[in-house]
A and B are shown apart, each in its own frame.
Chain A
């Protein structure tokens, strides 16, 4: 069964438009009694850069983590590239995926974390080549060549032998981006990638992300960088209290928010 068939089985085949990269339908998630996501519905087209903004605790990071199944959702459906995330649907029933199957889904989705989470006992190059070699079985010399190429792409070609602790925050985050790209993902998730950085280091990371967006990568970026959202984003989503308050063209939303809550938030951060 093709991915499109699978999708058609559960959803009316009304849209003939190309398959969206991320398709969230009424996604809900609770931690105990705390409802973090309340019926989130959104779509990310292929090649789209979607920025998600909102106050802390609004559920934006949780939503991002649901997309690659680091968190499981309680209700709704979440598709990435037409594939149901974390479950298999068969005869109207959902079956939990095996860990190995979930891992298989994840390796096509790159994730960049707020605190980089580089492996401190490996050099920059080893960080980048680890997953291709171990997970995809890429021959070492190929992985190393590609790793060097990716490090050069994020401007760290001469730092391949450095350990994370010998790199600045901005450099570490760029290695983390290279590490995610080494798996040739079809979708990149960024969880506040510049929030833990010194202000003067933010620019380098944003430049790399801008270059990635220009190369056509589909990206979902949780961020507080309104400038980045305005210049690079194709769409902007403002979340608060687990719901999408407002979404649309970033230039429009940032310049002329329609909702009172959005206006209040933007007046504080802009």
Chain B
């Protein structure tokens, strides 16, 4: 059927003439000639692009000669040792907060999806509080924690007191900053992990159950590994977001991070604008590096579950039927 159609189309003077429509000219071997059409033009795109480039050049030229930007100071402080040390502190804040946030988020998400209503309620309450209040406010609270809780009371609550132990340990501000950032991050990571866990086909859980696997075995061996594909790309986003959120530790108040340090220096030198630019350049540098990593991460995880992993045994014992029927992994 399709074969006869093809024959009509190619050796086709007869049928084409009969229908009155122009027929494609044929190559010597009978195949139809490739289409060579005039490309659609987009003159407005070019016009708008030219205008934008002109505006950008004007802005740069103008900025370069504006005194307020203080370009000399930008150059002076960009690689100042105080700034680069502060940049390191910002990275530390980011890494510690993210690691704790991811682990705690995973625990919260698993609690939320567990069949245990007590764990579910605890997780829900946590998310409600930490997602429902601004991170800035949370950080101020953590900074004041020693004012709120300054004694340990041993006894029966509201009835009898045996001993009162004053808390003399004052946690370092860096520690408080990490606690504040990571507890807030955990709430968001929990939602990301939860979405990932829910993305796994319910049939997987059912199959594991039918094999007699426990709920935790099912989670750890079957559901969590498959959810990583969905969880990892947005987690990369969270890292980039966290890097910038660390500026809010000023609320603790912790000031040894990149932005805090830049502000401190400018408070002495009365040159706030160049130091803002210095800080921005550092943040931009870090986020750019992270965005490159994010790109490769997403490319890696956008691939099918099969294509992402090394293929074992292929080429050794592959059968023709598999090569034909299989998907990308074989290629």
Contact = CB atoms under 8 A, between A and B. Distances in A.
Contacts of A103: 209, 212-214
B329 to A, nearest CB: 5
B8 interface: no
Interface in B284-331: 304-306, 309, 311-314, 316-317, 319, 321-322, 325-327, 329-330
A123 B212 contact: no
B210 interface: yes
A113 B207 contact: yes
B215 to A, nearest CB: 6
Nearest to B202: A117
B73 interface: no
Interface stretch (B148-156, B164-172, B219-227): B219-227
A115 interface: yes
A161 B204 contact: no
Contacts of A162: 312-314, 322, 326
Nearest to B203: A117
B321 A166 contact: no
B213 A134 contact: yes
Nearest to B319: A158
A159 B327 contact: no
A260 to B, nearest CB: 36
Nearest to B307: A165
Contacts of A115: 203
Contacts of A160: 313
B309 A68 contact: no
Given A107-B211, A117-B206, A183-B211, A159 B304 contact: no
Interface in B71-111: none
B25 interface: no
A167 B311 CA distance: 13
Nearest to A158: B317
B11 interface: no
Interface in A112-140: 113, 115, 117-121, 123, 130-131, 134-135
Interface in A89-124: 99-100, 103-104, 106-111, 113, 115, 117-121, 123
Interface in A148-207: 158-168, 171, 176, 179-180, 183
A134 B305 CA distance: 23
A120 B226 contact: yes
Contact of A111 (B210, B213, B222, B306): B210
Contacts of B312: 123, 161-162
A167 B306 contact: no
B214 A121 contact: no
A130 to B, nearest CB: 7
Contacts of A134: 213, 217, 221
A70 interface: yes
A167 B317 CA distance: 13
Interface in A47-82: 68, 70
A245 to B, nearest CB: 28
Nearest to B220: A134
A160 B329 CA distance: 15
Interface residues of A, number: 40
B210 A165 contact: no
B217 to A, nearest CB: 5
Nearest to B217: A134
B212 to A, nearest CB: 3
Contacts of A183: 211-212
A106 B211 CA distance: 7
B208 to A, nearest CB: 8
Nearest to A107: B212
A119 B209 contact: no
A37 B210 CA distance: 21
A166 B306 contact: yes
Contact of A117 (B204, B212, B319): B204
A121 B329 contact: no
B226 A135 contact: no
Given A113-B207, A183-B212, A121 B317 contact: no
Given A107-B212, A134-B221, A119 B326 contact: no
A119 B222 contact: yes
Interface in A213-265: none
A169 B319 CA distance: 15
A163 B306 contact: yes
B306 A130 contact: no
Given A117-B204, A163-B306, A130 B215 contact: no
B197 to A, nearest CB: 14
A117 B201 contact: yes
Nearest to B226: A121
A70 B211 contact: no
A117 B322 contact: no
A184 B206 CA distance: 19
16 contacts: A103-B212, A103-B214, A113-B203, A113-B206, A117-B204, A120-B226, A130-B221, A134-B213, A135-B213, A158-B319, A159-B322, A160-B313, A166-B322, A168-B321, A168-B325, A176-B207
Interface of A: 68, 70, 99-100, 103-104, 106-111, 113, 115, 117-121, 123, 130-131, 134-135, 158-168, 171, 176, 179-180, 183
Given A134-B221, A163-B306, 16 more contacts: A113-B206, A113-B210, A119-B204, A119-B208, A121-B225, A121-B305, A131-B213, A134-B217, A135-B213, A135-B214, A159-B322, A164-B306, A165-B327, A166-B327, A167-B325, A168-B322
